[in-house]
Structure 1
Amino acid sequence: MRNDDRSYKHLAHLVKRAQRGDAEAFRELYERTAQAQYFNVAAKVGYAAADDILQEAYLVAWKNLADIRPRAFIGYVRRVADTLCLQYFERGSHPRETSTDTDDFAVMDTSAKLHGSDPDKGDPAPEVGRRDATRRLAQALREELDERERETLLLRFYQDMKIDEIAETLEVSPSTVKRTIRGALDKLREKLGVLPTGVVFAAALQRAVEDPLAAGVSPKPAPSRASWADRAVPAVAALAVIGAIGCVAVAAGLPREAPAAPVDESQVTAEPAPEPAPAPEAGDTAAPELASMVTERGATVLAFTDESAVAEVRLTDEAGATYAPAEADTTDPTRPVFRFHVPSGTYQLRATDAVGNTASGEITVTLPPEEPVSVAG
């Protein structure tokens, strides 16, 4: 399944086809949206009742499809499912399920079938460790986040929706979506410690959401770069350093590049004019803020917070040479991260966000000394 097949526009296209009587389009619509709804329903009523409530919610959507605005389908199903959950509790006293205490070894065979691993080959410890991490993340999603935080996080990192698309679905402002995501991630960090980053986090959340799967839903293809299991152990040291940055996606997940050279204005060739910056959000007059600065593998990693996303960051040394970041990760636009390969020294930092707010100040980069090379006598 390609990412564009899960896009907001593609889902709306499926709704339009289904409204013309295309049952296959509705089946595809169910397959692409039901798992996130299933996880949210199960967080409220438990997995024992979640299947029936999910099926009933989509049956209601099918019966009333002609009255649903195509781009509002996910929001419609969510509201129907919420109502059905309330009715479920009104019919009697039902304890809320919050965890599934299943022995890790007992479920390894099921996990292998779903995710393509074979627990009979090699050491089973990594699979057990992955399942434990998946279970803890799933439990934190259910128990530590409120309903809006959980739903927003799933729409962003499981349903692959953009900030403005989530805002339209939930009928809130984009800035509210950003604040909600930030608050949800902070709660998860407080509970779980350092989170995986970038596509590793997306893969981890995917595993948590898809275990178990709803009836009629297939596993979503894993992110192409890496799975949490593949990168969890080697990433621990890097995450321990970068975790303080406080963002989902960081430069550590990007390919390495050569050190940035000073910008020589005389060598700059003409390029197409950049697209105009988006219109400022109401009340966004604050300049970007430097959230943290750490040194990692000889690079200086700068993390920022900003409501409208940071568009440009530059460092200028005492001689007037300007440096651009060697790597940038803006997966979470409210907490972008920039990696600079610059020598130790004092620099003027300038950061500008997408609506023109600018912050500047002085930073001091201190790199650890290189290890001396020993020469055999």
Structure 2
Amino acid sequence: MAQDGLRAVTSVVVTVSEFEAIARDYGNLLLSTARLLVDDESTAEDVVQSSLELAWRNLASLRDRSAMKAWLVKIVMNQALSVRRREVRSAIYLRNTARTIDADVASSIAAEVTSTMERLLDLRAAIRLLPIEQRAVIVLHYYLDMSIPEIAAMMEISPNTIKKRLGAALRRLRELLGKDPFPEDEHGANRVPSRTFRGAD
């Protein structure tokens, strides 16, 4: 993280030490969010680190200090989306390249993929099989308790688009899990497994 003194947030001045305290306060939340958006721990940590560095450089764009949490989550989400899109482009390249590989190697890879897909999926693994745009709305809505209008404002798209992505994601999760991924409790609230959000195995 840059060590160049301080940054201004409207009329508030944030020093390096103050921002480091902010990073500590929100670190677990940001890492848990990143874990659900990308596929491995190392990448999640990289996403959070790059997000905090980006946040430090752009603190002047934050208009409301009370919006710090949502602002940091948005940066993490955007960084994770960028990572996933790069991975998709790489996967397409590898798929096209793989057309020339030896048939025995291709058969071995296919068997390994089949074995992986046949394993019993838990919720976190199922979420990771969703397209990144659907994965993002699941994380924001069910794990960060953001409303559809709040998600729409954060992602700068219409609430109707968010509803469609959320509906498609839930249908896919039900197909993968064979059950409702977020059943309601006795009070009508959706229950989210806490271990899934913490990233515990």
| Structure-2-length-normalised TM-score | 0.61
Equivalent in the alignment of 1:203? 192
Aligned to 1:50: 44
Q: CA deviation at 1:159?
A: 0.4
Distance in structure 2 (CA, Å) of the matches to 1:171 and 1:80:
15
**Residue 142 (structure 1) shift:** 0.7
The answer as to 2:46 corresponding to 1:60 is no
For the aligned residues, what is the CA RMSD?
Answer: 3.8
Kindly indicate which of the two structures has a greater share of residues assigned to strand. 1
In the TM superposition, what is the alpha-carbon distance from 1:88 to its structure 2 partner?
7.6
8 Å CA contact retained: 1:38, 1:50: yes
Aligned residues of 1:38 and 1:54 also touching (Cα < 8 A): no
Q: 1:171 aligns with which of 137, 142, 156?
A: 156
- Alpha-carbon shift at residue 176 of structure 1 (Å): 1.8
What is residue 35 of structure 2 aligned with on the other side?
38
CA distance in 1, matches of 2:165, 2:191: 17
Unaligned runs of 5+ in 2: 1-8, 95-112
Displacement after TM superposition at 1:72 (Å): 4.0
Residue from 139, 158, 161 that aligns with 2:125: 139
Q: Quick one: structure 1 residues 159 and 38, their matched pair in 2 at CA, closer, same or farther if it must change by over 3 Å?
A: same
Over 3 Å counting, the alpha-carbon distance change for 1:49 and 1:76 in structure 2 is closer
Rg larger in 1 or in 2? 1
Structure 2 residue aligned with 1:75: 74
In the superposition, the TM-score normalised over structure 1's length comes to 0.35
- Give the Cα–Cα distance (whole angstroms) in 1 for the partners of residues 176 and 88 of structure 2: 28
For these two proteins, the number of residue pairs brought into alignment is 159
Distance 1:17 1:209, change over 3 A: farther
CA drift of 1:61 comes to: 1.8
In proportion to residue count, which structure has more helix? 2
Q: Within 2, Cα distance between the matches of 1:203 and 1:141?
A: 13
Within-5 A mapping of 1:340-355 = none
Report the Cα distance in structure 1 between the residues aligned to 2:179 and 2:88, rounded to whole angstroms: 36
Higher relative contact order (CA 8 A, sep 6+): 2
Distance in 1 between the 2:75 and 2:58 partners?
Answer: 10
Q: Distance in 2 between matches of 1:17 and 1:38?
A: 34
Matching residue of 1:160:
145
Q: Percent same amino acid among aligned pairs?
A: 25
Deviation readout 1:278-314 (Å, 9 max, x if unpaired): xxxxxxxxxxxxxxxxxxxxxxxxxxxxxxxxxxxxx
In the TM superposition, what is the alpha-carbon distance from 1:82 to its structure 2 partner?
3.4
Q: Call closer, same or farther: CA 1:142–1:197 in 2, change over 3 Å.
A: same
- 1:84 Cα deviation (Å)? 4.9
SS at match of 1:161: coil
Q: What aligned pairs does 1:330-369 form with structure 2 within 5 A after superposition? A: none
Task: State the alpha-carbon separation in 2 of the partners of residues 16 and 30 from structure 1.
Answer: 23
Question: How far apart are the structure 2 equivalents of 1:89 and 1:54?
Answer: 20
Inter-partner Cα distance in structure 2 for 1:146 and 1:35: 18
| 2:3 counterpart residue number | none
The alpha carbon displacement at 1:26 in A equals 3.6
One-letter amino acid matched to 2:78: R
**Counterpart amino acid of residue 192 in structure 2:** A
Cα 1:191–1:53, aligned 2, differ >3 Å: closer, same or farther? same
Please list the CA deviations of residues 250-304 of structure 1 after superposition, one character each: whole Å capped at 9, or x if unmatched.
Answer: xxxxxxxxxxxxxxxxxxxxxxxxxxxxxxxxxxxxxxxxxxxxxxxxxxxxxxx
The Cα offsets for residues 320-361 of structure 1, whole Å up to 9 and x where unpaired, read as: xxxxxxxxxxxxxxxxxxxxxxxxxxxxxxxxxxxxxxxxxx
Determine the structure 1 residue equivalent to 2:98: none
Q: CA deviation at 1:163?
A: 1.4
Given that 1:61 and 1:77 are in contact with CA atoms closer than 8 Å, whether structure 2 keeps it comes out as no
Change in Cα spacing, 1:142 to 1:81, as seen in structure 2 (3 Å) is: closer
Distance 2:153 2:48 in 1: 23
Contact 1:18 1:25 in 2 (8 A): no
- Paired with 1:212 and 1:18, the residues of 2 have a C-alpha distance of 37
Cα distance in structure 2, aligned partners of 1:90 and 1:149: 18
